[in-house]
Structure 1
Amino acid sequence: AICCCNFAVGGLLNATFGNATELIISMYALRRGMIRVVQQSLLGSILSNTLLVLGCAFFAGGITHSTKDQLFDKGNAVMNSGLLLMAVMGLLFPAVLHFTHTELHFGKSELALSRFSSCVMLVAYGAYLFYQLTSQNSFYMPLAEEEGENDESLEEEEAPEISKWGSIIWLSILTLWIAVLSEYLVNAIEGASVAMSIPVAFISVILLPIVGNAAEHAGAVMFAVKDKLDISLGVAIGSSTQIAMFGIPFCVVVGWIMGRPMDLNFQLFETATLFMSVLVVAFMLQDGTSNYFKGLMLLLCYLIVAASFFVHIDPEAIRELYFLREITLQKLM
């Protein structure tokens, strides 16, 4: 049970610190009132983890172990898929309410529903963590170890390459450094969009998450090559679940405290993209096996998503950036 807990805590910490970049950037952008940047960067993180990171892990693991299908814990994968679908449901209803013009109080019902749904999602994620950390079955323990095939390896503890306090200090330093860089990164989005003639949505949904998820990407691929696919799923799908069920609702609640109208209406195009991506991943995970072809399919799906956002113009983001530019000019004058 102790070993199971260690695997669970390790997977949770891996996902948490991997998502620190997105959350720090989101907090700064939210403070500046760049709500669409927050929404799109968090959405992009989910899409990147579920399609790109998981696709690369499946592909690399499948190529390395081409003579067999790699196995992973199907129960864990189904549970994470269910949580992702719950998050999609939370994002879908405010968007449908907005675009069907069926709000009881125009502009207020959508925001109120988003805040209520966010609180519900946070409770659900808290319950998920409690179950994950107290369950006898680890969500991050490889199947072979759960079945007792590698009992001897469980008894052997690897010597840590860095001490506990050393790791805490380094994580703190890097987190502070990311916090400093996030200000410059958020401020450069508009200029980069104009200079390179790239839509803001493409930068926020595709480019930012690829950079932010670089560490998770490398870790997931490395574990897949070592045939530790459960850990790869813990990194990729676990990270997506955390962003969807904690990161997004947390930003809504923080925006509520800041007085920012951050809601769960990610607009119809973005919500539909997330819905289809989660469905594709859920179908890929339902049989508990992976191979290079599944990885290739996920990567090709991500290419379609990236191409879609490259030709997608987000009027809300343009209006938001124009409004912020006007405020900045007024302050300078």
Structure 2
Amino acid sequence: MNKVFAIMVYAGVPISVIGSLLHWPSVLMFVIYCLTIIALASYMGRATESLAIVAGPRIGGLLNATFGNAVELIISVFSLQAGLHQVVLASLTGSVIGNLLLVAGMSFLVGGVKFKRQQFNVYDARHNSGLLIFAILVAFVIPEIFSARLTATKTLDLSVGISIILIILYLLALFFKLVTHRGTYQDPAVKKAEAHEEPEWKKGKAIFVLAVSTLAVAYVSENLVHTFEDVAESFGWSEMFIGIIIVAIVGNAAEHASAILMAYKNKMDVAVEIAFGSTLQVAMFVVPVLVLISLFFEKAMPLVFSVPELVAMVASVMLTIILANDGETNWFEGATMLAAYIIMGIGFFLL
């Protein structure tokens, strides 16, 4: 399988460049871009696995989420510059529900088919649950509620204040997990098993592959965005559906593949860190950073989501916490999360 992905990368990246320069049909390029991103995602998954063995599941998962979200951040900045605020917010909503329901759901399902019972660090699960409730139920819902009685200027001021608080708390959360309490809640048996495992690539090579793959994914993803309008016309997709479902899935393809691969290998700590850690990074870092960056453009973006977007994110957080807060999972829980994602996808498609 690795040879197949290698061929897809070595062929897909040059063809993507040639096709974009020669202006090949958008639908054809859409397929080529998607296949290329999937192949690049396999390399990011292998690099993440190597880093997780060398540096631990938390840092490995965090690096994967960071490199994966860098792609979405780049795409969103270009969209902000073009004044496409609703598309940006929709794609960020899609990232939240996609990571929580699609990525985690697929990971639990694929891993659960192979292993009847999978476990991950329950303390990390509870820690992430508290941050998810804060980010989505507090930081995202409050601007929507208050915006009904505030002027546009005051709503933006509130958004900027909340964004700064989110970034500070996210950095404190990383400091807590990676510095002051690193290894405090790790299972000694898991730590011992990881110590005897040999990584596929050394640390330097893994970081290099991860960085180069991310740059390639960023290039291909940016070109992919330009095909959405034509593809939407061809298939009859709405702008909100493209932002929440299509852009979010493609923008996070690397994380999706990595988390599922880790779950298949029963490395649930890494899989969960990728899925939940990426969600927290989007909600507590990417979104507020985009709000602050938008201040330098012609039109600033307030932190105000639509009601359907908020309901979808809140429902995703609550379902995820209920199913995953015990530190154990199985294939049926994964199927339940996927069912919820499909229901939301149908709703946004028809909206």
Where 1:258 maps in the other structure, the secondary structure is: coil
Question: Offset of 1:230 from its aligned partner?
Answer: 1.2
Gaps of 5+ in 2: 1-52
Q: Paired residue for 1:91?
A: 140
Q: Paired residue for 1:123?
A: 168
Which region of structure 1 is more displaced relative to structure 2, 112-121 or 263-272?
263-272
Q: Paired residue for 1:82?
A: 130
- What is the distance in 1 between the residues matched to 2:251 and 2:153? 33
2:241 pairs with 1:202:
yes
Question: Offset of 1:227 from its aligned partner?
Answer: 1.8
Instruction: Output aligned runs, 1:277-288, within 5 Å.
Output: 277-288=316-327
Question: Offset of 1:203 from its aligned partner?
Answer: 0.8
Whether the aligned pair in 1 keeps the contact of 2:57 and 2:273 (CA below 8 Å) is no
Aligned with residue 155 of structure 2, among 110, 116, 119: 110
Where 2:127 maps in the other structure, the secondary structure is: helix
Gaps of 5+ in 1: 313-333
Say if 1:183 and 1:213 are closer, same or farther in 2 by CA, change over 3 A: closer
Where 2:103 maps in the other structure, the secondary structure is: helix
Q: Paired residue for 1:148?
A: 188
- Give the TM-score normalised by the residue count of structure 1: 0.82
- What is the distance in 2 between the residues matched to 1:148 and 1:163? 23
- What is the distance in 2 between the residues matched to 1:302 and 1:63? 19
- What is the distance in 2 between the residues matched to 1:231 and 1:21? 20
Aligned with residue 133 of structure 1, among 164, 178, 184: 178
Question: Offset of 1:221 from its aligned partner?
Answer: 1.7
- What is the distance in 2 between the residues matched to 1:8 and 1:147? 13
Question: Offset of 1:183 from its aligned partner?
Answer: 4.2
Say if 1:97 and 1:190 are closer, same or farther in 2 by CA, change over 3 A: farther
Aligned with residue 259 of structure 2, among 220, 236, 249: 220
Say if 1:152 and 1:273 are closer, same or farther in 2 by CA, change over 3 A: closer
Aligned residues: 298
Where 1:149 maps in the other structure, the secondary structure is: helix
Where 1:211 maps in the other structure, the secondary structure is: helix
Instruction: Output aligned runs, 1:1-333, within 5 Å.
Output: 6-66=56-116, 69-88=117-136, 89-98=138-147, 101-103=148-150, 106-138=151-183, 146-149=186-189, 152-156=192-196, 158-161=198-201, 164=204, 166-312=205-351
Question: Offset of 1:182 from its aligned partner?
Answer: 4.3
- What is the distance in 2 between the residues matched to 1:232 and 1:85? 20
1:276-320 CA distances to partner (integer Å, 9 max, x unpaired)?
Answer: 1111111112222101111110000000110010011xxxxxxxx
Which region of structure 1 is more displaced relative to structure 2, 278-287 or 259-268?
259-268
- Give the TM-score normalised by the residue count of structure 2: 0.78
Q: Which amino acid aligns with 2:82?
A: R
Which region of structure 1 is more displaced relative to structure 2, 84-93 or 303-312?
84-93
- What is the distance in 2 between the residues matched to 1:151 and 1:36? 44
